């Protein structure tokens, strides 16, 4: 770490900080792919097996919900990297972005598995 770099410089971030940036960016990309690629497959599968009615899981997988779950951590990440601020504040924003990523991933996995379990329940019968 250069000692002559200003306190607001991105060069003051450690390797662990940059790994966190990559994890948040990758998770955000996955969240943006859910409504475009993954949710339509689950919809077709549940319709082919006769699962009826909207559920909480299908609501989370479609429309603006997965997009907003993905964009929110990416917005915090962008704020941490673009806006000039101290290293401590950057790290706090990276931590917040990571926490939002964990929440978004948990919500999307809950929705995906909830859809699978409802499909399995429909396929096995009452």
Q: Mind listing the pLDDT tens digit for each residue in 22-55?
A: 999 998 888 888 888 887 887 777 777 666 556 6
Please give the pLDDT value at position 109: 85
Please give the pLDDT value at position 124: 62
Domain ranges of the chain: 13-117
HSE-up (13 A, CA, CB side) for residue 125 = 0
Please give the pLDDT value at position 126: 57
Please give the pLDDT value at position 9: 78
- Using 50 as the pLDDT threshold, list the residues of the chain that sit under it: 1
Considering only CA atoms, which of 105, 92, 89, 70 is closest in space to residue 20?
92
pTM of structure: 0.78
């Amino acid at each position: 770490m250069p000692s002559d770099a200003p306190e607001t410089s991105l060069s003051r971030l450690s390797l662990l900080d940059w790994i966190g940036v990559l994890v948040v960016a990758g998770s955000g990309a996955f969240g943006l792919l859910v409504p475009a690629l993954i949710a339509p497959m689950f919809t077709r599968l549940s319709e082919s097996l006769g699962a009826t009615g909207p559920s909480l899981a299908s609501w989370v997988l479609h429309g603006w919900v997965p997009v907003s779950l993905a964009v929110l951590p990416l917005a915090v990440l962008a704020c941490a990297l673009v806006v000039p601020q101290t290293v401590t504040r950057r790290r706090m924003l990276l931590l917040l972005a990571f926490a939002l990523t964990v929440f978004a991933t948990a919500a999307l996995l809950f929705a995906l598995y909830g859809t699978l379990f409802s499909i399995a329940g429909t396929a096995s019968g009452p």
